Amino acid sequence: MEDIKIGSLLSFGDYDWRILDIQNNAALMVTECIIEQRPYHNAYNDITWADCALRKYLNSEFYSRFSDDEQSKILPVINRNLDNQWYGTNGGVDTTDYVFLLSLEEVCRYFGDSLSKLENPKKNQRYWFERKDENNTKRLARLLGKEGAWWWWLRSPGRVGVKAVYIFGTDGNIGIQGNNILKGNISDGKCTGGVRPAMWVKI
C-alpha cells in the first residue's frame, strides 16, 4: 500500500478512497464518490444502524467484493451509535463493523472541524445542522460516473426511527431531521440515498 497521509487519495479495491484519519498504523477512509444508491432499510419501520439492511449489505455482499488480501487489511471496528442530539431518537447499540457509514459526529470531525457547533447546537435548529458552516462544501460528493453532487446517508438516526441523517447534495449541509429510510419503493427506483462506505485499513 502506497505512502499515505490524511487528506490523500488511496486506490483500494475498485474505488478511490479519501483518508480521513490515521491511528496506530491504521487509516480511516471513505469513498471519494458516492458509489451507488440504496435505501437505508428495506421496510418502512423504526430501525437503527445495528439492524438496518444497508449495514448488512455493506458487511456481507459489498465486503465480499474485496480480494482475500484486501480483506486481510480491513479492520473490524466498534462503532458508537449515539442518539440524535436534537430529537433524542435512539441510535441503537454499539456495533462491530468492517464496513460502515460515517456518523454525524464523524462528518463534523473529519470534513473540516465543526465539532464545536455540534457540541453547542442552536435552539432554532430543526432541519439543518448549520447553513453557514464553512465546512459544508467539504462534504459534497458526486455520484460515481455522473456529473454534479448528490445526497448521501449517514448512519445516525433522524428525528424519528424511520429517518436517518444525511448530507444534502446541493450545499453539503447535514440534514439533522433525516430522510426516510425507504424513499419510495425499491422496485420503482426511488430509493435514491447515496452510499459512501467507510472502513479502517492497515497501512
Share of the chain above pLDDT 70, in %: 83
**Residue 137: which pLDDT band, with cuts at 50, 70 and 90?**
confident
- pLDDT exceeds cutoff 70 at 116: no
Evaluate whether residue 2 is within a structural domain. Answer: no
The long-range contacts involving 179-186, CB below 8 angstroms and separated by at least 24 positions, are: 179/151, 179/153, 180/44, 181/39, 181/40, 181/41, 181/44, 181/47, 181/52, 182/39, 182/40, 182/41, 182/42, 182/43, 182/44, 183/39, 186/39, 186/42
Evaluate whether residue 38 is within a structural domain. Answer: yes
CA distances in angstroms from 87 to 11, 91, 178, 184, listed in the order given: 38, 11, 11, 24
Evaluate whether residue 4 is within a structural domain. Answer: no
Evaluate whether residue 1 is within a structural domain. Answer: no
Pairing mode, strands 198-202 and 74-75: antiparallel
Supply the range of the domain harboring residue 21.
Answer: 9-202
Evaluate whether residue 138 is within a structural domain. Answer: yes
Report which secondary-structure segment, H or E, holds 110. helix 104-110
**Which pLDDT belongs to residue 117?**
58
Strand stretches in the chain, DSSP E: 9-12, 15-23, 26-31, 36-37, 74-75, 77-79, 95-97, 141-142, 149-150, 152-157, 163-167, 174-180, 194-195, 198-202
Evaluate whether residue 191 is within a structural domain. Answer: yes
- What is the reported pTM? 0.90
- Fill in the amino acid letter for 7: G
Per-residue pLDDT of 98-114, as tens digits, reads: 999 999 999 988 986 65
- The total number of structural domains that make up the chain: 1
- pLDDT exceeds cutoff 70 at 121: no
**Residue 174: which pLDDT band, with cuts at 50, 70 and 90?**
confident
Per-residue pLDDT of 45-87, as tens digits, reads: 999 999 999 999 999 999 999 999 999 999 999 999 999 988 8
Report which secondary-structure segment, H or E, holds 116. helix 115-119
Contact 102, 198 (CB under 8 A): yes
Evaluate whether residue 188 is within a structural domain. Answer: yes
